[in-house]
Structure 1
Amino acid sequence: MTPPPARRRRAGASDAAPARNLPRRGTVRRAQAITTYGVGSLVAVDQESFIVSGLDRADEQWSADEAPVIHERRLARLLGVRYFRLPPASDDTSRDGVRVRRFPLMHSCPECGDLRRHRDFNPPPGRSVCGTCEVDLVPSRFVIACEGGHLDEFPYRQWVHRSTERGATIAGQCGGILKLRTSGRSSSLRSILVSCTCGVPEVSMEGSFRRNALKDLGLRCLGARPWLGTSFSDLKPCPLTPRTLQRGSSAVWQPVLKSALSIPPWSDGRADPLAEHWDVLRSLESRVEVEAALKVVFKGASPLSAEEVMTLLAAEREEDAQGEAEVTFDHRYRALREKEYERLRAGNDERERSHEEQFVCETPIGDPTVLRPLGVTGPMLVKKLREVRALAAFTRLAEPDTTTGSNEVPLSDTTLPWLPAMQVHGEGVFLRLDEERLGAWEKTDAVTHRVERMRAAHQKLLEQRAGDTAPIPLSPATPRMVLLHTLAHVLVDEWSLEAGYPAAALRERLYAADDMAGVLVHTATSDSAGSLGGLVAQGEPERLARTIRSAVRRAEWCSSDPLCVESEASGTGGTNLAACHACVMLPETSCEHNNVLLDRALLVGTPEDPGLGFFSEVVEER
């Protein structure tokens, strides 16, 4: 994360400033800097706690060789940036790393019981110990956050003085020292006791997690953004009420990730040198204008011909959301998915490929008609793919799929031309459901009624998260979306058993819309395990048919049945039905929708209605 001490340089011909001598506090993998420990998240290192800093000065801090630039034009255009950067390498030879700041600042000493800011303990340089007791300090277990993304210290002083008649006033004037201890009677909040040497009664932390606990104290969000290093004078009051959270809670930080596959004509990497010039090139209409611009920019040594650039511009314009009165981010993201769906259906043969091609999608050798009785069609073997996954923003107290752009927190205080991202090289299997059979199934009353319950619950959750002024997004729950989502989960579980992949090493990519009904399951790790051919081999029709039958029959039973299959609502806000961690839920890194909108009854039916499932005929086969 933070860099190791810099090596001393000799003064000489180089005028470059030496690297800053910052202490090193542990290491993280590049993928974790996007999915787990991104900007604004809290990181626990040994006995200390830190928050990952924003990107405002990252251009100066991240060296080009340890944080290289990567390109994915389709995703960059969607997110409004020119390029992406890998987070800096963090190993024994690293010169730099991801910057962090100490947070929370409130610490307690387990020996003397003092509860105060870290610096007030007078710790020795480079250590986090009590200057008097010489024991390791413990960071505050509690922080407060609001849905606007702000994060702050828990107001211990106001909390302990709340029983007085003028609690807020006395808390501000009290010169006493806060004390923290545990009674040891239980592990509940009632056993965590806070006191002040000014003589107010000792109080417990019980009740501090109530939604209105801080509002009842008259406290509002101050708009603190510690990951940006904002001072008290920079704070802008926030109208939202903060809530108490555990420092290690997943609700403290949730990444907003956007991804795209590299598909032709962008997937050979030859267009990368043009990344800085696309805005100019898009404004040109004719081949002659493009050719003249290339000569000026590259001084006659353009990596692409004018014809190739015209082809790229035409492909880019095809992804423009057409026929929409108001083109939103969701429209553009769907257009991106539609082009991927078309390319996955069409594939590319050897004549279309070059040595640098990063997308290889072929038709299986076997007879695909063996899949027809299952309602599955169009299997494709994706022998080579590249996915770029960018950290676009983050949220607090809300899942990214149940929030709106107004609650998404940017990674920097200023607008940057890039975002941090990771790239995955791997393989996958793509399949589609038969449109005729799917169309008849999704119109049945039992299916539409069941999915409507999930959609209503999800829509209610979206409305709660949107706030008073933010636009309310529509729930994506439809019969085909829930079916494809659940099918992808059971396939990942099956292949984790059959092909030896851990479930966390596989990832789903759904293509669900009126004109799309496909699933891509691909490797989601950035190491060599993602491209060994083991997953592609599972896509041959005969083997795929056996896998689907086995996965569906396995989904027929859950160790939590009958509670699971007969559940009227499960998951966050009732957004799932027959789905739990014992049957179809996956690791969060493998699921695009955070394990919501799942129902295995749409695969296999229910005891009361066996014909409800799309694959009910498979269940009846014995």
Structure 2
Amino acid sequence: MIAVENESFLIRGIESWDISEAPFISEPRLARQLGVSGFRMPPAPDPDSARDGVRAVRFPEMYSCPHCHQLQPFRKFNSRAGRAECSTCQESLVPSRFVIACTHGHLEDFPYWKWVHRGNRTGSGACGGQLTFQSDGSTASLRAVLIGCSCGVERVSMEGSFRRQALRDLGIRCGGRRPWLKDAPAETCQEPPRTLQRGSSSVWFPVMHSALSIPPWSQGVAKLVAPFYDALKDEDPASIKSYVRIVKLLRHHPHYTEDDVVAEVARRRAADTAATEPVDDTEAAKRAVDYRRELYEGEYRSLRKPHPEIAAEEQEFVCEPPSSSIDTLRSSHGLAQVMLVKRLREVRALQSFRRVEEPSPADSPMREAAISSEKPRWLPAFEVSGEGVFVRLDQDRLRVWEEQPAQVHRAARIRQNHEKLLSARAGDSERPVPPSPATPRFLLLHALAHVLINEWSLDGGYPAASLRERLYSDEDMAGVLIYTATSDSAGSLGGVVAQGEPDRLATSLRTALLRASWCSNDPLCMESEASGADSLNMAACHACLLLPETSCENNNILLDRAALVGTPEDPSMGFFSKALRT
């Protein structure tokens, strides 16, 4: 939902977008995970051809006039074309501040008539009166927002409308409306609707997925074919070769042949077919998990292996070890490897969205609102180019540490709370509930990423929101990638790579650990048995570990500062306790 001056709109479903000029984004590994053939940048409007690209629909439908206080659907104000004003007062209209939504993603205008006539005080049916909306400004609370009707019923305030059971108590049920999808029929829905502020973040939680472009998909013939694949995917070999000659695709790449291009198109076409074949929800969920694991494992392998810059090629992934030795970091901090990612490309795609409650891995498809009427063959996405630093921990030292009883006990508390939440969010779905990743290893890597981002924000001058984490935690993975997550001036200036040089990294890591050893909210923070949303953190708060939402891929949950530095009673339980003592 977007506000444009004094109007409010919903972005339409992607099937109504004009994508004829929308740039195609290639990321085969992510496309396979999401079961689509590719991605598109949101199309931009073209003033010369009157194309509107991404389309929108007016929502909410209810508007009010601040002068005469009328509250009614926008069309009844008879505004002039291109204006949102009251035809009687010539005052700019104000879109309704309140909407109702359910956890299945349905969205409707707030039922003002039912709210002001609750208790059936005027009998059954509509009264035929004119609703009014007025805020007397006496207080900043909902008590000052008054709804009235010209039928003579007593005015009522909006106080109490946000209670969880407020609408259900009035007999108001979810109407199953999806106004962002053109001509979409109302669905049967048993979920109770909730009142929300129109501009609240709870109205729209995106379900995003991302992938790094890594070799071999980011170089060679695969990179060469990617921009043209959309035009070639349905062609036979002869037509593909003809197209290659017409556009002179190989003019600057004589080491490739037309047969190489045909083979690459065939390979991608086969992958598309496998990814988009119809399967049931359970199988689709299983495949998504398998593909995501495969995606992260592939990135982890690429980050561990040097990929030096080659002058003759346009590379999207350049990863090299630092010029000096990391022996000091290895012995004192338990780091096994540091890699400087001098160039990377990330593709982020929007698959669906949630309302009321933020997304969870255990959510059933019923709880995710679709961005198109039918299963899409493509998804909207954007790409970011930047840089980063990859840090890998010593596996042998890590295995010894993560078996400590104290650390196992702390991680078990978080995992128990998380699994309880996942089970509750899964509900009656037949999909298997995913296991919680809250292991000692994960908590350590996650906390390490957060303290480094906070430290580099202070030391390197980067806004914390321009840095992003990517965690590689599994039995065979123990790494953290911190990279720029923005395409503006903070995106690729070399500052993050400079933080990965061993001498500088040793200094910043030690400083970060010293900061983490004491929080301004201690001892409450460190001694907390559970903290954060749904009790999914231990020693973590806004004064020590939490980051801007754009920086954390786990919504600031599954964090414990004690994994890094231990507790005052047992400092040795921290992975970096030895480094702090030296």
Would you say same fold, with TM above 0.5?
yes
CA distance in 2, matches of 1:45, 1:577: 42
CA distance in 2, matches of 1:594, 1:343: 26
Quick one: which amino acid aligns to residue 543 of structure 2? A
CA distance in 2, matches of 1:344, 1:81: 26
Give the conservation status (yes or no) of the 8 Å contact 1:266–1:312: no
CA distance in 2, matches of 1:444, 1:90: 58
Task: Pick the aligned partner of 2:167 from 190, 209, 214.
Answer: 214
| Structure 2 unaligned residues grouped into runs of 5+ | 251-255, 276-282
Structure 1 position 567, deviation (Å): 2.1
Matched residue, 1:200: 153
Matched residue, 2:35: 80
Matched residue, 1:180: 133
1:39-188 correspondence to structure 2 within 5 Å:
42-58=1-17, 61-64=18-21, 67-89=22-44, 96-164=52-120, 170=124, 172-188=125-141
Task: Pick the aligned partner of 1:483 from 437, 440, 444.
Answer: 444
CA distance in 1, matches of 2:10, 2:501: 47
CA distance in 1, matches of 2:266, 2:233: 13
Quick one: which amino acid aligns to residue 502 of structure 2? P
Structure 1 position 412, deviation (Å): 0.9
Indicate whether 1:451 and 2:406 are aligned: no
CA distance in 1, matches of 2:485, 2:225: 25
Matched residue, 1:272: 226
Structure 1 position 202, deviation (Å): 2.2
Structure 1 position 115, deviation (Å): 1.4
Deviations 1:49-73 (A, max 9, x none): 1111111121xx2451xx3112111
Deviations 1:561-616 (A, max 9, x none): 23222222222111112212222111111111111111212111222332222112
Structure 1 position 257, deviation (Å): 0.9
1:282-361 correspondence to structure 2 within 5 Å:
294-295=237-238, 297-299=240-242, 301=244, 305=257, 309=263, 327-350=286-309, 354-361=312-319
CA distance in 1, matches of 2:32, 2:473: 22
Give the conservation status (yes or no) of the 8 Å contact 1:402–1:461: no
CA distance in 1, matches of 2:28, 2:287: 19
Q: Which moved more, 1:408-417 or 1:496-505?
A: 408-417
Structure 1 position 559, deviation (Å): 2.4
Indicate whether 1:248 and 2:202 are aligned: no
Give the conservation status (yes or no) of the 8 Å contact 2:103–2:357: yes
Matched residue, 1:607: 568
Indicate whether 1:460 and 2:420 are aligned: yes
Structure 1 position 464, deviation (Å): 2.7
Matched residue, 2:212: 261
Matched residue, 1:421: 381
Matched residue, 1:397: 356
Q: Residues 468 and 326 (structure 1 numbering): CA distance in 2 closer, same or farther, change over 3 Å?
A: closer
CA distance in 2, matches of 1:478, 1:354: 44
Quick one: which amino acid aligns to residue 154 of structure 2? P
Matched residue, 1:527: 488
Quick one: which amino acid aligns to residue 437 of structure 2? P
CA distance in 2, matches of 1:487, 1:193: 50
CA distance in 1, matches of 2:576, 2:457: 21
CA distance in 1, matches of 2:228, 2:135: 61
Structure 1 position 194, deviation (Å): 1.5
Matched residue, 1:19: none
Deviations 1:427-469 (A, max 9, x none): 1100111111111111111111111111222222222322323
What is the DSSP-based 3-state SS (H/G/I as helix, E as strand, rest coil) of the residue aligned with 1:480?
Answer: helix
Structure 1 position 371, deviation (Å): 0.8
Structure 1 position 277, deviation (Å): 9.4
What is the DSSP-based 3-state SS (H/G/I as helix, E as strand, rest coil) of the residue aligned with 1:424?
Answer: strand
CA distance in 1, matches of 2:527, 2:243: 69
Structure 1 position 499, deviation (Å): 1.5
Quick one: which amino acid aligns to residue 399 of structure 2? G
CA distance in 1, matches of 2:424, 2:193: 16
Deviations 1:338-368 (A, max 9, x none): 01100100122356x7512211111111111
Structure 1 position 299, deviation (Å): 4.1
Q: Which moved more, 1:130-139 or 1:269-278?
A: 269-278
Task: Pick the aligned partner of 2:338 from 359, 371, 379.
Answer: 379
Matched residue, 1:552: 513
Give the conservation status (yes or no) of the 8 Å contact 2:207–2:354: yes
CA distance in 1, matches of 2:500, 2:27: 27
Q: Residues 109 and 470 (structure 1 numbering): CA distance in 2 closer, same or farther, change over 3 Å?
A: farther
Q: Residues 402 and 141 (structure 1 numbering): CA distance in 2 closer, same or farther, change over 3 Å?
A: farther
Matched residue, 2:279: none
Q: Residues 114 and 509 (structure 1 numbering): CA distance in 2 closer, same or farther, change over 3 Å?
A: same
Structure 1 position 276, deviation (Å): 4.9
Q: Which moved more, 1:248-257 or 1:109-118?
A: 109-118
Give the conservation status (yes or no) of the 8 Å contact 2:99–2:198: yes
What is the DSSP-based 3-state SS (H/G/I as helix, E as strand, rest coil) of the residue aligned with 2:300?
Answer: helix
Quick one: which amino acid aligns to residue 270 of structure 1? L
CA distance in 1, matches of 2:231, 2:424: 42
CA distance in 2, matches of 1:415, 1:91: 28
- Give the TM-score of the pair, scaled to structure 1: 0.83
| Structure 1 unaligned residues grouped into runs of 5+ | 1-41, 282-292
Give the conservation status (yes or no) of the 8 Å contact 1:178–1:197: yes
Structure 1 position 275, deviation (Å): 3.5
CA distance in 2, matches of 1:222, 1:325: 28
Structure 1 position 325, deviation (Å): 13
Q: Residues 300 and 116 (structure 1 numbering): CA distance in 2 closer, same or farther, change over 3 Å?
A: closer
Aligned residue pairs, count: 554
Q: Residues 311 and 369 (structure 1 numbering): CA distance in 2 closer, same or farther, change over 3 Å?
A: farther
Deviations 1:476-533 (A, max 9, x none): 2211112111111111111112222111111111111111110111111113532221
Indicate whether 1:364 and 2:310 are aligned: no
Indicate whether 1:229 and 2:182 are aligned: yes
CA distance in 2, matches of 1:325, 1:117: 41
Give the conservation status (yes or no) of the 8 Å contact 2:102–2:356: yes
Quick one: which amino acid aligns to residue 79 of structure 1? L
- Give the TM-score of the pair, scaled to structure 2: 0.88
CA distance in 2, matches of 1:470, 1:208: 34
